Structure 1
């Protein structure tokens, strides 16, 4: 009997593979475009304690891919990184397990790429300034994708100061010639001057800003981790999401003025932004569809280089 060779594709191999932010944007676009052909049940979320969670996210890609995958992502307070994830990739035509992939790089980059694609799709015309709340790895991935997608124009980042994160963010991108920065100390100042607001804060117990008038006409709000701006659900003109099942449990879902999925805009069956005065929210909670498309492409590109599960187990470094 021929044994199944399961590959282990670790973080270092993925991170060093030269996958560009531009490629990541193309992969998430590919994912959104196939959404209604894929089998994509709602993720299961379990909480061991407090704000900690384990999310289990399965997906079967359209038949032309012959791929099934499941991602487990967790957030455990005090751990580094705060968010961690693993992906199992199968051949859906025969049930063979193909690979175990570390999901940390995939999670970060697909999240940043989705945010950048949503911004490109839904922002008002001529917008080149992006205001950020929360400046960790997800914000940096989003900035990388925005810069890659706007390489031919000047881009300004307005950053809310928190500890030394804003200065570290500036330092990370200081060599990018078309990137410019402004650091502000007050959330109301950030919101009042914002054309696009990207929130990458993973935990917030209170609203960041409860003054509706501060949100200027035409603003696009992208709350990557959905915290701190829930009041905007009541007065923004349009709300888009990556999946209806992710949002129907939101407190104000029944009171949204307008809702549709981002895939409908990309497929051309929804108009998206109708004018430059509309205030729009894009909730992108995270689809396993994105992760499994990334895992599929990475397996195709790196599978031959990756060690087998047996080799990893026999490697003494594995046990250190």
Structure 2
């Protein structure tokens, strides 16, 4: 097991008490980072949390009665990097189509040794990398031994890098399937897969039930308007189903032999759409940080149907955001704003 790469010692840890470095979407888009580096950084954040060195309080949520928007605020501290950060997330137009929705997310980092700001950045690329990396780690730890087939549901931001990250941790997969309804999204999934694994391609499936029945690993990354809803009785023994967005019916959770969550507290906040008729969610058998650390079992039998809830933890955003901020500072990217003058 590898841990997050050590921070380069020749990169400034932060700026000064009056300026804040702003890193835009285009600043971060130009930074090269390998999939293995992302996976290692995310895994290191989980291990540090499990060791009791980091703090990851439950996220706060605000949603209007008609459900047209949702906002989150997440505060955390990375004990291996001595960094404190807050992430905000706001999505508007949940009652509209994808092209009419607005989404903004930002991460602000502070150096907890010097007490100075590090950077504020658009967090969209961080999330687009962090989340599929977590799903890939869940697959590495919880999928049945000898898993050979995977199905990705959805072709949005989270679906487009799902397969490259999955192949990073499970290179033995030989059948890759995709269920999607947007032609441009399907093309983007293929493009990302070939960019990272030029010799691999994905099989586009239209019969979701048959595809789910053949899959050892299912990653449900679709948006809320997806027609996909895989049911528990479609799954063969041993299937790992990972919920990131939408695409799994509640039965896959309630009838699972084992439930794993990145955080049970966060699942209880953000997973209410998977509740039963009484509004209840089942208890979690294991949280993922101790599974990664080897103190809890991800899987206890080859025939277990496992449901894994990937809600994302802010400590992983902090670790990856700090990694990006250091790379950006080294390249002279961003704008210094005299925010506190």
Secondary structure in 1 aligned to 2:337? helix
* Cα distance in 2 between the residues matched to 1:215 and 1:26: 31
- Unaligned stretches of 5+ residues in structure 1: 313-320
> Cα 1:226–1:79, aligned 2, differ >3 Å: closer, same or farther?
closer
Which deviations, in whole Å up to 9, do the C-alpha atoms of 1:261-320 show, x marking residues without a partner? 0111111111221222111011011111111111222222222413343389xxxxxxxx
Q: CA deviation at 1:257?
A: 6.9
Comparing 269-278 with 224-233, greater Cα deviation is found at: 224-233
Range 162-171 or range 74-83, more displaced: 74-83
What is residue 97 of structure 1 aligned with on the other side? 117
Go from structure 1 to structure 2 and tell me whether the alpha carbon gap of 1:278 and 1:178 turns closer, same or farther (over 3 Å shift).
Answer: farther
CA distance in 1, matches of 2:127, 2:150: 22
| Cα separation, 2, equivalents of 1:248 and 1:105 | 26
Q: 1:10 aligns with which of 24, 44, 60?
A: 24
Judge conservation of contact 2:261–2:284 (CA < 8 Å) in 1.
no
Aligned with 1:295 (options 300, 321, 331)? 321
In the alignment, the residues of structure 2 paired with residue 124 and residue 178 of structure 1 have an alpha-carbon distance, to the nearest angstrom, of 25
SS in 1 for 2:237: coil
| Counterpart-to-counterpart distance in 1, 2:198 and 2:338 | 44
Which shifted more, 228-237 or 130-139?
A: 228-237
Alignment pair present for 1:53 and 2:96:
no
Alignment TM-score, normalising by the size of structure 2: 0.81
Cα drift, residue 205 of structure 1: 8.2
SS at structure 2 position matched to 1:303: helix
- Aligned residue pairs: how many? 308
Tell me, yes or no, if the aligned pair for 1:205 and 1:228 is still in contact at 8 Å: no
**Are residue 127 (structure 1) and residue 147 (structure 2) matched?**
yes
CA-based RMSD of the aligned residues comes to 2.7
In the alignment, which of 155, 167, 184 is matched to residue 147 of structure 1?
A: 167
Structure 1 residues 129 and 178, CA, compared in 2 at 3 Å: closer, same or farther?
Answer: farther
Q: Which has the larger displacement, 66-75 or 168-177?
A: 168-177
Deviations 1:112-157 (A, max 9, x none): 1111111111101111321011112211122221233345x45422
> 2-side partners of 1:91 and 1:187: how far apart?
47
Residue equivalent to 2:295? 269
- CA contact 2:161–2:193 (8 Å) conserved in 1: no
The correspondence for 1:157, drawn from 176, 183, 189, is 176
Residues 45, 78 of structure 2: 8 Å contact kept: no
Q: Which moved more, 1:197-206 or 1:49-58?
A: 197-206
Q: Work out the CA distance in 1 between the residues paired with 2:53 and 2:241.
A: 28
Displacement over 4 Å in runs of 4+: 78-82, 204-207, 252-255
1:244–1:168 Cα change, 3 Å: closer
Residue in 2 aligned with 1:72? 88
2:44 to 30, 37, 56: 30
> Which sections of structure 2, spanning at least 5 residues, go unmatched?
1-15
* Secondary structure of 1:118 counterpart: helix
For 2:4, the equivalent position in structure 1 comes to: none
Instruction: Give distance in 1, aligned partners of 2:116 and 2:338.
Output: 18
- Matches of 1:116 and 1:243, distance apart in 2: 16
> Which of 41, 53, 63 is matched with 2:57 structurally?
41
Match of 1:216 among 227, 236, 245: 236
Q: How has the CA–CA distance of structure 1 residues 9 and 163 changed in structure 2, closer, same or farther, with 3 Å as cutoff?
A: closer
Using the size of structure 1 for normalisation, the TM-score is 0.86
The 10-residue stretch of structure 1 (70-79 or 231-240) with the greater mean CA deviation from structure 2: 70-79
Are the equivalent residues in 2 in contact too, given 1:240–1:283 (CA < 8 A)?
Answer: yes
- Residue 194 of structure 1 is matched in structure 2 by 215
CA deviation after TM superposition for structure 1 residue 3, in Å: 4.8
Query: SS at the partner of 1:225?
Result: coil
